């Protein structure tokens, strides 16, 4: 049984704790300690999820120990210092998306974990979604032919109040960006998983519908290393918010995932056009407590197994870094007005 200490008791922390409750039942992982900022809230959270100990600082939790890994689900700018503290204290680290706010931090996290001999995993739980795995399998089996275009379209809406009630969202220093790095990042991660690495990107970011520093709308044109083209759209400003769309087009067919469904799957020569309804997938986030945690369960189980077997977690630091690299490249492109070539290094 892998024992977790968790820092962060917000929306992301709730997903992790819910998943750990299910994993405790099967005997593979459990939540034993929680760190937050506020005593009462942290204690309530710990009691709700059956954690025996709670703390009002990560440092205190780390120094008392009694667990094998630390899960981090705090504001983005804290991922780097908190991950380093946990790694240096000798714990495996599972960090929520984005793994850090820039590549210098991400690279340092990977270096330190390697040196200390601990695992670093990143929470991109949709990699474990049955719909996404099915599309990945079709691509790998060559069913769609040679891929020629991939699109990640995240036209969401968040009211101004969403930013106002948070002390870290909407600012570069604490969120590290806006719609791309927070909301669209899951879909961008999947796009890269399906299509491979990007070679060049030209992007535009802007702030249209909120009083915030960071972007609430972004568009980018991509050229993948394979030669395929790609499109990214990320928004928290498209009223009233539309279902997420992830499209993969190959010379032999098309797969379109819309919201939680594999909406369209057409393969040349196979007449059937399938529509599959599922509850998981890139579902609506308007009621996070209603979003099932199956994918979190699978990701955490995989992470625990990687520790037990000495192998790599499926979403390790290098995999977690990929979407961050593309997002940082879009930010650089938008700032400079130039096409940015990848791989991108930020030192
Ligand atoms: N993988 C997913 O599907 C998913 C879903 C949602 C969020 N996330 C990610 O989860 C992370 C947290 O986002 P969220 O939406 O949960 O934000 P949130 O609701 O604002 O929660 C952030 C949590 O961090 C705590 N915190 C803030 N500063 C801290 C500090 N210095 N030390 C310890 N704890 C501190 C907050 O404490 P207070 O309670 O005192 O404010 C709060 O419990 C982000 O990386 C986000 O992108 C991932």
CA of 200 to the centre of ligand 1 (A): 32
Beta carbons of 176 and 104 less than 8 angstroms apart: no
- Distance in angstroms (rounded) separating the CA atoms of residues 135 and 231: 18
Residue nearest to atom 6 of ligand 1 (CA): 12
pTM of the predicted model as reported, rounded to 2 decimal places: 0.96
**Whole-Å CA distances, 338 to 197, 198, 251:** 19, 16, 30
| pLDDT score for 10 | 97
Beta carbons of 280 and 257 less than 8 angstroms apart: no
Query: In tens digits, what is the pLDDT along the chain, a chain of 347 residues?
Result: 999 999 999 999 999 999 999 999 999 999 999 999 999 999 999 999 999 999 999 999 999 999 999 999 999 999 999 999 999 999 999 999 999 999 999 999 999 999 999 999 999 999 999 999 999 999 999 999 999 999 999 999 999 999 999 999 999 999 999 999 999 999 999 999 999 999 999 999 999 999 999 999 999 999 999 999 999 999 999 999 999 999 999 999 999 999 989 999 999 998 656 665 554 445 555 677 788 999 999 999 999 999 999 999 999 999 999 999 999 999 999 999 999 999 998 98
Three-state secondary structure call for residue 170: coil
- Distance in angstroms (rounded) separating the CA atoms of residues 257 and 267: 15
Our answer on whether the CB atom of 264 is closer than 6 Å to any ligand 1 atom is no
CA of 292 to the centre of ligand 1 (A): 19
CA of 231 to the centre of ligand 1 (A): 29
Residue nearest to atom 38 of ligand 1 (CA): 37
Q: Check whether the bond before 327 is cis (ω within 30° of 0).
A: no
- Distance in angstroms (rounded) separating the CA atoms of residues 110 and 228: 29
For 2-125+295-316, which CATH class?
A: alpha beta
For 127-286+323-341, CATH number out of 3.30.10.20, 3.40.50.1370, 2.20.25.650, 3.30.360.10 equals: 3.30.360.10
Residue nearest to atom 34 of ligand 1 (CA): 36
Residue nearest to atom 3 of ligand 1 (CA): 12
Our answer on whether the CB atom of 30 is closer than 6 Å to any ligand 1 atom is no
Our answer on whether the CB atom of 36 is closer than 6 Å to any ligand 1 atom is yes
Q: Report the candidate in 110, 329, 306, 299 with the shortest Cα–Cα distance to residue 204.
A: 329
| pLDDT score for 330 | 98
CA 98 to chain centre: 6
Q: Where are the domains of the chain?
A: 2-125+295-316, 127-286+323-341
Our answer on whether the CB atom of 320 is closer than 6 Å to any ligand 1 atom is no
Residue nearest to atom 40 of ligand 1 (CA): 37
Our answer on whether the CB atom of 189 is closer than 6 Å to any ligand 1 atom is no
| pLDDT score for 347 | 81
| pLDDT score for 329 | 98
CA of 63 to the centre of ligand 1 (A): 22
- Distance in angstroms (rounded) separating the CA atoms of residues 109 and 118: 11
CA of 34 to the centre of ligand 1 (A): 13
Our answer on whether the CB atom of 76 is closer than 6 Å to any ligand 1 atom is yes
């Amino acid at each position: 049984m892998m024992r977790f200490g968790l820092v962060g008791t917000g929306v992301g922390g709730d997903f992790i704790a819910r998943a750990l409750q299910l994993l405790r039942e099967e005997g593979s992982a459990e939540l034993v300690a929680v760190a937050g900022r506020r005593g009462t809230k942290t204690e309530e959270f710990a009691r709700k999820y059956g954690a025996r100990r709670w703390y009002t600082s990560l440092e205190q939790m780390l120094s008392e120990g009694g667990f094998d890994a630390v899960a981090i689900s705090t504001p983005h700018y804290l991922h780097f210092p908190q991950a380093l503290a946990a790694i240096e204290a000798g714990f495996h680290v599972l960090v929520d998306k984005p793994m850090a706010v820039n590549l210098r931090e991400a690279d340092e996290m990977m270096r330190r974990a390697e040196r200390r001999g601990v695992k670093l995993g990143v929470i991109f739980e949709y990699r474990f979604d049955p719909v996404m795995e099915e599309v990945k399998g079709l691509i790998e089996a060559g069913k769609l032919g040679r891929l020629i275009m991939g699109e990640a379209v995240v036209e969401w809406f968040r009211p101004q109040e969403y930013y106002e009630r948070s002390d870290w969202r909407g600012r570069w220093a604490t969120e590290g960006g806006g719609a791309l790095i927070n909301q669209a990042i899951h879909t961008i991660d999947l796009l890269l998983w399906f299509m491979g690495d990007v070679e060049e990107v030209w992007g535009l970011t802007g702030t249209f519908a909120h009083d915030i520093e960071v972007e609430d709308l972004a568009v980018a044109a991509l050229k993948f290393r394979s030669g395929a083209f790609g499109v990214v759209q990320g928004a928290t400003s498209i009223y009233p918010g539309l279902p997420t769309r992830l499209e993969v087009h190959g010379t032999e067919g098309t797969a379109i995932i819309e919201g939680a469904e594999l909406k369209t799957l057409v393969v040349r020569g196979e007449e059937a056009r399938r529509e599959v309804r599922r509850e998981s997938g890139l579902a609506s986030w308007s009621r996070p407590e209603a979003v099932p945690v199956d994918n979190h369960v699978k990701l955490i189980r995989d992470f625990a197994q990687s520790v037990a077997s000495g192998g790599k977690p499926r979403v390790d630091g290098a995999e977690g870094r990929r979407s961050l690299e593309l997002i940082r490249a879009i930010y650089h492109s938008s700032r400079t007005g130039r096409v940015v070539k990848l791989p991108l290094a930020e030192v």
